[in-house]
Structure 1
Amino acid sequence: METDLEIDARGLICPLPVLRLRKALLQLAPGQTVCLWATDPVAVIDVPHFCAEAGHDLIATTAATDATAYFVRRGPLAEIAEG
């Protein structure tokens, strides 16, 4: 899947993967997408929760051999919710 930005958070533990994702999404326009690569087992809970709370769309999750990829689309009202 093609994205506007890719974040490598492999080896980082909670809350760092979500904090990096949040920071990256704030720099993007609504509708742009990010791929977050994470190895933290808690990210499977944290990323969907963050997306739901902040108004972003988790469009796909793909498990690979060494990490999981989370594909997130910046939400249209996210700037208001996070600002």
Structure 2
Amino acid sequence: MAGRTAIYDLKGLNCPLPVLKAKKRLAGMLPGSRLWLETTDPLAVIDIPAFCSDAGHQLIETAAVAGGHRFLVERGELGS
């Protein structure tokens, strides 16, 4: 799929909502699709990588940004 990678704005949500919403959004995507997650929850730096590992998604990139973090996630083949 060409074009820009979608951005999912999860700013202002606290644990466990960023992971729960990311899980639901990724479940509706095709394997290999990528999604940027933007968060302000400080626990997301622990929760998002753990979620990706547990669910079979690949965490491509993590970046600290003003007020939070961005995570580039690639949906896994068996991810849910």
TM-score scaled by length of structure 2: 0.91
* Unaligned residue ranges in structure 2 (runs of 5+): none
Q: Determine which structure has the larger helix proportion and give its number.
A: 1
- In the alignment of these two chains, the number of paired residues is 77
Is 2:54 the partner of 1:49?
Answer: no
Separation (CA, whole Å) in 2 of partners of 1:17 and 1:48:
12
Once the two structures are aligned, what percentage of the paired residues are identical? Answer: 47
Separation (CA, whole Å) in 2 of partners of 1:10 and 1:76:
27
**Any idea what SS the aligned residue of 2:14 has?**
coil
Amino acid at match of 2:12: G
Moved over 3 A (4+): none
* Unaligned residue ranges in structure 1 (runs of 5+): none
**Any idea what SS the aligned residue of 1:60 has?**
strand
- 1:20-56 deviation digits (Å, cap 9, x = unpaired): 1101100100000010000101100000000000000
